[in-house]
């Protein structure tokens, strides 16, 4: 008897998204042009773009579509990469860094276009705002705006403290940089919408199906799967690995390049439209400039969604709700006594240099990972770049593939303790 599919983890998103009936697990051999592993934003985007190009595509998901970070993140959409443009220039040089920046701007445009084209109801709202809560960070915002202007990215606006306090009902922040080109959305609704579009384009989706191993023989890749008590196999010409922190032992060489970091978000009870509007007057998504950032936004039903707690140790059983709520109250003390109705967390993958990690393990085995908490838009264009490369035009994919990445030090036993020690320095820096 087939085993029931796992449900999405409990969260505000899973409670407010129309979860479809599950796709069946793969229980027999099948052939395809391309097999994509991981039905998150990157995998769904690649599968959709490939199918629209005429490829026969199989999409494998061990859990449910959007089960991982794609369906649980903060929902903030903005161009760029987590590493930052100046640091990216040091990694790849000014010309390649500028080209990568242009691709990330295209990523936001692509996301908006897909919402419209496929009719994805995902609570899209324009506007993103970075905020400073240290004097030195005010200069950082001005420097960032100047750098964006040199890249040809117009329309951002510096907001001084007086005006900012009229937009955000808090005295914590000293200045802001508003970007009308960014925005925020309901990430699980968006991911499910991409998956529906991919299936409509002909993608064969199998949920509850783990890619357990693969072999390459010339131009043929064999992907063996397990799920629901049955085994299956996909024979294909190309394999794309887009499982990020959840690939496990499928590709050990990739696992050494990323670290799974726990992130956590809370959602208040509904505050009512007037009260919610007081908290964030322009309804932008907001994030600060600290290494361990606070990020927050309003939901469509007038809650505050607040993230600001991460775990680098891999220990998940600390008092997540209280720790995150305390951070929220440092921003909005007037929310003391407000009920927290939802709390959730999960893993995102980070790289040593916080730049995305794209590349090949074999001439016909491709991978996308390492979005480092900055992937709501970038994952979508990453899927497009992978699809382009599989179709024979790898120039844009190779821009990212040229970014050098190191393994996390310390091996399986020591890598987390080493990272925890490194993070203590950054946390101290946030306090200065």
Average pLDDT, integer, range 270-299: 95
Instruction: Could you list the beta-strand ranges (E) of 289-356.
Output: 295-298, 304-311, 340-351
Structure tokens at 280: 């964030």
CA distance 148 to 386: 27
Give the per-residue pLDDT at 410: 64
424 pLDDT more than 50: no
* Residue-wise pLDDT tens digits, 177-229: 999 999 999 999 999 999 999 999 999 999 999 999 999 999 999 999 999 87
* Residue-wise pLDDT tens digits, 351-371: 989 999 999 999 999 999 999
Structure tokens at 325: 């709520």
312 pLDDT more than 80: no
Give the per-residue pLDDT at 261: 84
Alpha-carbon distance values, 78 to 22, 117, 191, 369 (Å): 31, 20, 17, 18
| Pairing between β-strand 295-298 and β-strand 285-288 as defined by DSSP bridges | antiparallel
Long-range contacts of 95-99 (CB under 8 A, 24+ apart): 96/399, 96/402, 98/151, 99/396, 99/399
Q: What is the mean pLDDT of the chain?
A: 91
* Residue-wise pLDDT tens digits, 412-421: 554 555 454 4
In the sheet with 357-362, reading across from the earlier edge strand, the strands are: 204-206, 57-60, 34-37, 238-241, 365-369, 357-362
Give the per-residue pLDDT at 422: 46
List the Cα angle 389/185/357 in 5-degree steps: 30
Neighbours of 412 (CB within 10 A): 9
315 pLDDT more than 70: no
* Residue 5 φ then ψ, to 5°: -70, 145
Average pLDDT, integer, range 40-63: 98
CA distance 160 to 158: 7
423 pLDDT more than 60: no
* Residue-wise pLDDT tens digits, 77-131: 999 998 889 889 999 999 999 999 999 999 999 999 999 999 999 999 999 999 9
Give the per-residue pLDDT at 92: 94
Q: What letter does residue 168 receive in the DSSP assignment? A: B
Confidence of residue 408 (pLDDT cuts 50, 70, 90): confident
Confidence of residue 348 (pLDDT cuts 50, 70, 90): confident
Give the residues across from 184 on adjacent strands.
Answer: 76, 125
Confidence of residue 1 (pLDDT cuts 50, 70, 90): very low
Q: What is the CATH number of domain 12-72+189-255+353-412?
A: 3.50.50.60
CA distance 70 to 72: 6
- Domain extent listing, the chain: 12-72+189-255+353-412
How long, in residues, is the chain?
Answer: 432
Average pLDDT, integer, range 277-283: 98
Q: Which residues contact 175 (CB under 8 A, 6 or more apart)?
A: 131, 132, 137, 138, 141, 158, 159, 160, 161, 164
List the Cα angle 321/424/69 in 5-degree steps: 45
């Amino acid at each position: 008897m087939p085993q029931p599919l796992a449900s999405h983890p409990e969260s505000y998103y899973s409670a407010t998204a129309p979860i479809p009936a599950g796709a069946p697990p793969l229980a027999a051999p099948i052939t395809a042009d391309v097999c994509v592993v991981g039905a998150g934003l990157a995998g769904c985007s690649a599968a959709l773009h490939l199918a629209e190009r005429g490829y026969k595509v199989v999409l494998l998901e061990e859990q449910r579509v959007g089960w991982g970070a794609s369906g649980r993140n903060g929902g903030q959409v903005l161009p760029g990469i987590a590493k930052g443009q100046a640091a990216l220039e040091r990694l790849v040089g000014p010309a390649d860094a500028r080209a990568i920046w242009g691709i990330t701007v295209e990523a936001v445009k692509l996301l908006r276009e897909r919402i419209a084209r496929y009719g994805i109801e995902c609570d899209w709202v324009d506007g993103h705002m970075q905020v400073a809560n240290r004097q030195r960070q005010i200069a950082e915002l001005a420097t960032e705006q100047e750098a964006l202007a040199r890249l040809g990215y117009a329309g951002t606006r510096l907001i001084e403290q007086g005006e900012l306090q009229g937009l955000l009902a808090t005295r914590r922040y000293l200045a802001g940089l508003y970007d009308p080109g960014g925005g925020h959305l309901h990430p699980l609704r968006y991911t499910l919408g991409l998956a529906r579009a991919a299936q409509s384009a002909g993608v064969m989706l199998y949920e509850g199906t783990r890619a357990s191993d693969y072999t390459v023989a010339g131009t043929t890749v064999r992907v063996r799967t397990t799920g629901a008590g049955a085994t299956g196999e996909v024979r294909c010409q190309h394999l794309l690995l887009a499982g990020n922190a959840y690939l496990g032992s499928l590709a050990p060489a990739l696992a050494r390049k990323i670290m799974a970091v726990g992130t956590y978000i809370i959602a208040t009870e509904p505050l009512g439209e007037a009260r919610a509007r007081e908290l964030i007057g322009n309804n932008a998504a907001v994030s600060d400039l600290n290494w361990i950032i606070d990020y927050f936004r309003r939901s469509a039903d007038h809650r505050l969604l607040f993230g600001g707690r991460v775990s680098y140790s891999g220990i998940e059983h600390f008092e997540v709700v209280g720790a995150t709520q305390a951070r929220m109250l440092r921003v909005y003390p007037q929310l003391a006594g407000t009920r927290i109705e939802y709390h959730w967390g999960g893993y995102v993958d980070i790289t040593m240099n916080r730049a995305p990690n794209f590349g090949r393990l074999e001439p016909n085995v491709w991978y996308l990972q390492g979005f480092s908490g900055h992937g709501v838009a970038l994952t979508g264009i990453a899927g497009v770049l992978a699809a382009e490369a599989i179709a024979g035009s790898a120039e844009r994919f190779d821009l990212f593939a040229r970014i050098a990445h190191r393994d996390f030090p310390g091996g399986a036993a020591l890598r987390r303790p080493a990272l925890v020690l490194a993070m203590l320095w950054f946390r101290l820096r946030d306090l200065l």
